[in-house]
Amino acid sequence: MKRGTKVAPRSSGVSLHMFTEADLDDLHEGTVTVLDRTGVLVESDEALDIFADGGCRVNRETHIVQIPPEVLQGALASARSSFLLAGRDPKDDVLVESGRVLVTTFAEGLLVNDLETGENRPSTKADVGTHCHIVDALDQLDLNLVSVMARDVPTETAALHNLEAALPRTTKPFNMSMVSSHEAELCMDMAAAVVGGRDALRERPICFFGSCPVAPMNLCVTLTDALIPSVRAGMPFLAISMGMAGGSTPITLAGTLIVQNAELLATYVLTQLVNRGNAFVYGNSTCTMDLRWGASAVGTPETALYQAGTAALARYYGLPSWTAGY
């Protein structure tokens, strides 16, 4: 089994610690207050029921869920700091851990630079397989991903087509984006067909799903619909917060981290209310809006700081993190 690159504090190696404990406590306490007093929007009635049963204050009219500090603390008590992702070939097994670094490719592109012609064109199902095949061979990339959206298949079943294209082209474990409960269930059935049933899949998850809240603080139906069946089945789940500072989150970096933290901790609480102890990955792809153009700017110093901040907060909670980079 492969483990990620070690990071300090250890005997050697370079590391970055940009927050003091007091800074992290401030970010945490700010988030506790926001979750308790302001709450998050939860679109799905099924998710509202779960939050209500778990001791949260739920307003059925406004769909606002306020999470009391004790509910949050209860959920954080069962935080899992590591979990196995299985390769279709066991040589590709990896341990996703808080405090060690794995690298994977990009996900959710809409366009592709064609390998033959160089043309920039809409992405297809065939591209998903091609990219998985290339990443399978690259020694520095520990996980695979569904790199682009297949835009030549029905949107209602796109995830299934992505998985059908990816599975035969890699033996590395992989992540894929998920936005509906029927796709989540059927994709788990497809992966189960490879490993020999749903129980075997829980033991050796060869793929797992990720989905995104909508900033600020909306646990949208696509997120919770993907999450609930996945977590019920005991599969690790990745939530990626995608704030855009100055638009959907505060212009300040710390404020943006708190909005992101509120979204991710609320999502994490939901996973623990569905299945206590379920693996959860604390993810971000937060960026800054360049207010000169109104464009989301990804390759910026702000993004680097959000990534480092996300890693620091996830480690504070003992959760594995997932950030954009490279």
Partner 1 sequence: MLAGASVIYGPGMLESGMTYDPAQVVADNEFVAMTRFVRDGIDVNDATTAIDEIMRVGPAGNFLELESTLIGARKLSAPRLIHRNVREAWEAEGSPDFYLEARKEAKRILAEHEVEPLPDDVTAEIRAIVAEADTKYAGRPSATKAGA
Residue of the chain from 29, 89, 199, 203 that contacts partner 1 (CB under 8 A): 89
> Per CB under 8 A, does 321 bind partner 1?
yes
> Per CB under 8 A, does 68 bind partner 1?
no
> Per CB under 8 A, does 326 bind partner 1?
yes
Report which residue type is found at 168: P
Part in contact with partner 1 (CB under 8 A); list of ranges 32-40, 61-69, 93-101, 219-227:
93-101
Is residue 226 within 8 Å of 211, Cβ to Cβ? Answer: yes
Part in contact with partner 1 (CB under 8 A); list of ranges 33-41, 62-70, 143-151, 249-257:
143-151
Q: Residue 277 CB: number of other CB atoms within 10 A?
A: 12
Report which residue type is found at 304: A
In the region spanning residues 177 to 216, those forming contacts with partner 1, defined by CB under 8 A, are: 182-183, 186, 189-190, 193-194
Distances (CA, A) of 29 to 25, 26, 86, 240, 241: 6, 5, 36, 21, 19
> Per CB under 8 A, does 253 bind partner 1?
no
46 vs 276: CA distance, rounded Å: 17
> Per CB under 8 A, does 251 bind partner 1?
no
What's the min distance (Å) between Cβ of 298 and partner 1?
A: 4
Site string for partner 1, 220-239 (x = CB under 8 A): --------------------
- Nearer to partner 1 by C-beta: 71 or 187? 187
What's the min distance (Å) between Cβ of 116 and partner 1?
A: 8
Report residue 322 as tokens: 């997932």
> Per CB under 8 A, does 105 bind partner 1?
yes
For residue 281, what are the contacts with CB-CB under 8 A and spacing of at least 6?
96, 210, 236, 237, 238, 239, 319, 320, 321, 322
283 vs 228: CA distance, rounded Å: 18
250 upstream amide cis, omega within 30 of 0: no
- The site for partner 1, by CB under 8 A, has a size of 100
> Per CB under 8 A, does 22 bind partner 1?
no
